[in-house]
Amino acid sequence: MGDHTDYNEGLSLPMAIDLATEATFTARPGSFLIGLASDQFPEPWELSLGATAPDPPQAALAASLVALAEPPSGGAVRVTSTIPIGAGLSSSAAFSVALLLALGRDVHSDPAALARLCQRAEEVAGARVGLLDPLAIIGAQAGHALSIDFATLESHQVAVPEDAAFVIVHCGTSRSVGASPYAARRAECERAANQIGRPLGRCALGDLSALGEAVLRRRARHVITECARVHEVEQLLARGNLSGVGALMTEGHRSLCEDFRVSVPPMDELVARLAHTPGVYGARMSGGGFGGCAIALCAPDSPALDPASHAPLAAWRVSPNAGAEVRDGGSTKPRSRTRSANRVPRT
C-alpha cells in the first residue's frame, strides 16, 4: 500500500521481492572510462569520468550515477537482472542502488542519503521520482515490509504473516515514468497542497473543502485515503486478517483508477480477474501506474500463485525478501545485489 504518497509526505509500505539486479565493478586504475555491459541491452556503453566524452542518451541514468558516485578510477561494470523493465517493479531504482554500491557507496551508513543520490540521478536523467523505491530496496528485510513515513523518513520493519502468499502479473502494457503523465500528477498534488496549506500526506478528508477544482479534490482524496489504508492494513495484518487486507488492496486500486487516474484498461481487467480468482484476497496495480504489473495477495493454495495459469501474461510468485547487499567486497571487484521493490500491505 502507499502509491503516490511518498512525494506527498505520506505513508507507504513497500517490500523487496525475489527479482534482483546485480552489478559487479572491476577497477582499472588510470582509466577515465567506465565500460558498462548489461544483459538487458544489446550493446555495452562507455561512460566517461569528468565528462570528457559524450555519453549515449540511453545511458543517461548510468552516466548520472557514475558522476554522483565519483569513483577514483575507471573500470568495467557488469550488470545482470531478473527485473523486467517498464513493469512498475522498480527496475531503475534497483539498477541505481546496485551501481552505486558496486562503485563503493556504503549502503548502511546513511540510507536516506543513498536514496537521495538515486533520486538525483533519475532527475538528471529526466525522470522526477520519489524516494520510495530506493529506500525500500536499501532497507528491506526478509519476511518483512518496510513502513516509511515520508514526512520524517522514519521507518520500521513490519512482519508479513507466513501464510500471506503473493503473485505478480504483468498486464501486457509497459510503462515509463518519463513518457507517462506521472509528472502531471505530481504537479496536481503540489497545487492541491499549496491551496490547502500543507502536504497532502498530512491532510484529512475535511481539508478537501479548501479545493475548488474537482480534479485536485480527486487527486488529494486518493493520497489522503491511501495513507489511511496503509495505517489500517498494518493493524489488520498484525491480527492476521488477510481477507481484510485484500479488500483494502482492491479498494486502493479503485482509488488509483478513479481518483488518481493512473491505471489503464488492461490493468483494470487484470485486477478484476485476479480479485475473482479462488483464494485471492485482493489485488492492485504496482508502482506509479500507466501499465506494468498487478500484485495479488493470496491464500497458499490459490491457483493464482501458479505463474503458468496467467499465460500468455508474464507472472512471478514472490515473497518478502532482503534488500540491497554487497558481496565479495574488496577494492578491485565489489559486487552488489539489489531487490525489486513492491508496494504491499504493511503489518
Active site residues: 133
Q: Which element (helix H / strand E) includes 325? A: strand 325-327
Q: Using alpha carbons only, what angle is made at residue 295 by residues 293 and 298, rounded to the nearest 5 degrees?
A: 150
H-type alpha helices, 239-314: 242-258, 265-275
Set of cell numbers at residue 164: 500471506
| Gap between the Cα atoms of 48 and 297, Å rounded | 45
| Residue type present at position 67 | A
| Gap between the Cα atoms of 239 and 128, Å rounded | 37
Residue of 67, 87, 177 lying closest to 130 (CA atoms): 177
Give the full edge-to-edge strand order of the sheet including 165-170: 280-285, 293-298, 165-170, 315-318
CB-side exposure of 295: number of CA atoms within 13 Å? 29
Helix (H, G, I), strand (E, B) or coil at 251: helix
Dihedral, CA of residue 277, residue 283, residue 286 and residue 291, to nearest 10:
50
Peptide bond connecting 266 to the previous residue in cis, omega within 30 degrees of 0: no
Helix (H, G, I), strand (E, B) or coil at 4: coil
| Gap between the Cα atoms of 76 and 33, Å rounded | 8
- Residue located via cell numbers 498486464: 171
Helix (H, G, I), strand (E, B) or coil at 56: coil
